[in-house]
Amino acid sequence: MSPPAGIAVGARREFFMRDDGAPEGREADHRGASQAPSGADDFRALVDDLPDAVVLYDGQKRRVYSNRVHRRYMDLAGAPWRGKTVLESSIFSPADAQAYDRLLNRVLTAGERINFEVRLRGVAGTDGEPVDMSINLGPLRDDQGRICGVQSVSRDVSALKRAVAHAERSAQEFQTLLELIPDTVIRYDRDLRRAYCNPAAVENLSASAARLGWRSDRRGSLPDPAEYMRRLQRCIDDKCAGEYESSWVDRQGETRQVHILLKPELDDAGEVSGVLAIGRDVTDLVAIAVVDALEIVEVKQNAAQRSILVALDM
């Protein structure tokens, strides 16, 4: 992080090298502090109030500035910061501190800009969870453009990493569910080409119907692929889910009754990115319903026959 472009180079050096790190109202007692332009003081106050941890190191890798967030972390870990190197006093593990020191050397010698992540030692977040930091390192330069120090800006990414981990676990759980359920699940892209088929779809549908990258408008497992394609397209155009019953021919050549649910998938912008088609085999349910219907018809026929016989007896 650098001061605003309107601040002169001398003022920038004055900002970077003032290391009071004191509570508000305390007079700075460093050389030339009283001559620093007000813009430098305003920028210093802004940096001190940032939600990110900001640290400045001199050419010997000693801390010469630490804003309030960084000082809070150091205080929580009981580690002094002023004039100390990361090897002398740190909120990192010994191994991480050594790695950090090596990165500082790279910035000082080659002027590299480096980003890395590290877990803090002896510090816990407000929720009691470990604190993971994303740290950006960059060179500080003097009036002649020579590297004279390192600036470090760190952001707490703990919540983000936990959210990503939760999403990854959820995605894995969802993937496991897709692989285990007996329903066929097929994902189509916007061009209605198959992008995914779960194991049940591969096992139960014909080879052409489960082939990725193909459309479903050619005759395969479905008796009316054109109707299926129309419903897929309607799902994309209307951004609405749909369902209907049809039939397919499985790999054994048997006709199965299926209930198909079509659901549009939306991207981050809220636009339809594809369609998820879920097919459930309801052949047995249909058979039971047919048997029940026949039994009802038979009961009604028997009742009608008895009524006729009673009438004849009369």
Q: Which CATH class is domain 9-163?
A: alpha beta
Q: Kindly tell me the burial class for residue 191, based on how many C-beta atoms sit within 10 Å of its own C-beta (0-12, 13-18, 19 or more).
A: exposed
**262: nearest Cα among 231, 237, 219, 238:** 231
Q: What is the per-residue pLDDT for 180?
A: 86
Confidence band, pLDDT 50/70/90 cuts, at residue 27: very low
Report the distance separating Cα 40 and Cα 27, nearest Å.
15
pLDDT of residue 207: 57
Most confident of 126-130, 213-217, 224-228, 284-288: 224-228
What's the confidence (pLDDT) of residue 271? 86
Do 9-163 and 181-281 come out as alike in CATH topology? yes
Q: How many CB atoms lie within 10 A of CB 251?
A: 14
Whether the predicted pLDDT of 30 surpasses 50: no
Alpha carbons 115 and 154: distance in angstroms, whole number: 9
| pLDDT score at 204 | 74
CB contact set of 133 (below 8 Å; sequence gap of 6+): 53, 117, 118, 119, 120, 154, 155, 156, 157
Q: Quick one: what percent of the chain has pLDDT higher than 90?
A: 17
Question: What's the CA gap between 57 and 282, in Å, rounded?
Answer: 70
Residues 162, 147: contact at Cβ < 8 Å? no
Dihedral sign computed on CA atoms, order 82, 88, 92, 96? positive
List of residues 6+ apart from 61 with CB closer than 8 A: 85, 86, 101, 104, 105, 108, 150
d(CA 156, CA 69): 10
Q: Which helix (H) or strand (E) holds 71?
A: helix 68-76
> What pLDDT score was predicted for residue 296?
53
- Where is average pLDDT lowest: 40-49, 53-62, 284-293? 284-293
| Distance of alpha carbon 96 from alpha carbon 81, whole angstroms | 17
pTM, entire model: 0.50
CA distance 171 to 177: 10
Give dist(CA 283, CA 256) in Å, integer. 6
- By CB neighbour count within 10 A (0-12 exposed, 13-18 middle, 19+ buried), where does 238 fall? exposed
What is the rounded distance in angstroms from the CA atom of residue 86 to the CA atom of residue 199? Answer: 53
How much is the pLDDT for 21? 43
pLDDT at 20 (0 to 100)? 45
CA distance 176 to 156: 32
Where do the structural domains in the chain lie, given as residue ranges? 9-163, 181-281
Q: How confident is the model at residue 141 (pLDDT cuts 50, 70, 90)?
A: very high
Write the single-letter amino acid at 176: T
C-alpha to C-alpha distance for 138 and 108, rounded to whole angstroms: 9
CATH class of 181-281: alpha beta
pLDDT of 218 higher than 90: no
Predicted confidence (pLDDT) per residue in 167-182, tens digit: 778 878 888 888 888 8
Residue 118 bridge partners (DSSP):
133
Give the tokens for residue 8. Answer: 């002169």
Residue 267, pLDDT above cutoff 80: yes
